[in-house]
Each structure stands twice: as C-alpha cells, then as structure tokens.
A and B are shown apart, each in its own frame.
Chain A
Amino acid sequence: MASVAPSRLATLARLRSVIFQTSYNPTSQRTGAKYLKRRLRGPSMMDYYPQQLSFSAINKEFKGLDLIDEDEEQRLQDIVDKKKRGKGAPKKAKSAADSRRAQRKR
C-alpha cells in the first residue's frame, strides 16, 4: 500500500471536521472550551450542609408567629443584669489613644 502524503491527510481531517461538524484544531491550541463545557459546581456545593433552622428564619418566613428564642432572651437578660452590677463589657475605644492597651502601665 502506497503511503499517503501528510498534506492529503490534513485535507482529509479538515474535510472530515466540516462534514461531522467537529472542531478543526490541527495544532492542538488551547481554546478554553473546557471552562465553558464543565458543569457549574456551585449549586451542588450549597447543598452540602443540612439546612439550619433558626428562630429568626422561622419568624421571617411566618409573619406574626413571633416565636421566642428562650436561650437568646436569657443571654440578653444576663447582659443587662451584668451591666447593672457594673460588670458589662467596656466601651469600644474611638481612637488608639483611648484604648485600654494604651492606658496599661508598662
């Protein structure tokens, strides 16, 4: 069997790609097609953790239900009680000069 010239083979490949509607890329250049063809991963990523129920979310969904989160109420009440006894968190410093760190003795 006689060998076929490379140019003829190239022509054949080009014709074949036209006929079968495939891409003709003889130099194997990167076209970036894989970034478009790949499925989007985001939606399945969001499903990984189970949905968390929270009082605020339920109250938002069902307007007028107004469920009370007892733990949260207790926490807020504790903060108020502590403040009354002068045990609250210190005020935030407005500048670096009034920070508690700056007032500390060396």
Chain B
Amino acid sequence: MPPRPNIRVLRDIKARQGVVDNEIARRAYLYVARNQTLPAQVRYRAQLQLNTFGRYTRPTTVKNRCTVTGRGRGVIGEFGLCRYQFRVKALAGELPGIQKASW
C-alpha cells in the first residue's frame, strides 16, 4: 500500500471537497454581489452571505501538494511531485520522456 497521506494532505482534500460542495452557491452569490446593475442593498446582502461560507470552501485555500510525500513547496506542477520525488522517479525511469541532461 502507498504511504498514508499526512494531515496536510487530508486538510487539502477536505478543502477540495468543500470547494466542490459549495462552488455553485458561491458562484451565484458572487454573481449577485459583483453585478453593478443590481440594487446596492441586494449586492450587500449577497456579500454578507458570501462571508458566511467557511474557510475550506474557497478555491484559493486549495494547494497542489506532492502526491507522494505531501510536501507543499517545490512541487513540479506537471507531475504533481516535489522536486526530490521528481528526481527519484525520473532516475528510476518512471516518468516517460524525462531523462537526465547530459552534454
């Protein structure tokens, strides 16, 4: 079995789930709150509703972490791996088309 995801990865998964669950409602409120053609009172109330959403419902709280180690920094987006895991896997030949530079 692969290593168990650490707490930071679990929290990130929770944030992702929260985004999925609340995305449509948040979009609807955003539409009303940012629409300048609507009355100010309505927009204000929509903004108040937006503020009641939890922390883990905003897409900005989601961070792409290393899928192997859960490391948050130095993650190479194309592979979803941190720089060290990228090196390990590349040297092991597990990443098609990646080879060590040599000239």
B contacts with A: majority SS: helix
Are B24 and A40 touching (Cβ within 8 A)?
Answer: yes
Cα–Cα distance between A35 and B43 once the two chains are bound (Å): 14
Are A35 and B23 touching (Cβ within 8 A)?
Answer: no
With an 8 A cutoff between CB atoms, is B64 at the interface? yes
- Please tell me the size bucket of the interface on A: 10 to 19
A 16-56 contacts with B by CB, 8 A? 29-33, 35-36, 38, 40-43, 45-46, 48-50, 52-53
With an 8 A cutoff between CB atoms, is B9 at the interface? yes
Count, A-B residue pairs, CB within 8 A: 59
Residues in A neighbouring B2, C-beta threshold 8 A: 50, 52-53
Tell me the nearest residue of chain A to B22, going by C-beta.
A42
Given contacts A29-B36, A30-B36, A52-B2, contact A45 B31 (CB under 8 A): no
A contacts with B: majority SS: loop
A99 to chain B, nearest CB (A): 24
Cα–Cα distance between A32 and B46 once the two chains are bound (Å): 13
Contact with A along B39-72 (1 / 0, CB 8 A): 0000000000000000000010010100100000
Question: Which one, B1, B35, B64, contacts A53 given CB within 8 A?
Answer: B1
Are B80 and A45 touching (Cβ within 8 A)?
Answer: no
Cα–Cα distance between A29 and B21 once the two chains are bound (Å): 30
Q: Could you name 29 residue pairs across A and B whose Cβ atoms are closer than 8 Å?
A: A30-B35, A31-B35, A31-B36, A31-B37, A32-B30, A32-B33, A32-B34, A33-B31, A35-B27, A35-B34, A38-B27, A40-B24, A41-B23, A41-B59, A42-B16, A42-B19, A42-B21, A45-B16, A45-B19, A45-B59, A45-B62, A46-B20, A48-B16, A48-B80, A49-B5, A49-B13, A50-B67, A52-B2, A53-B2
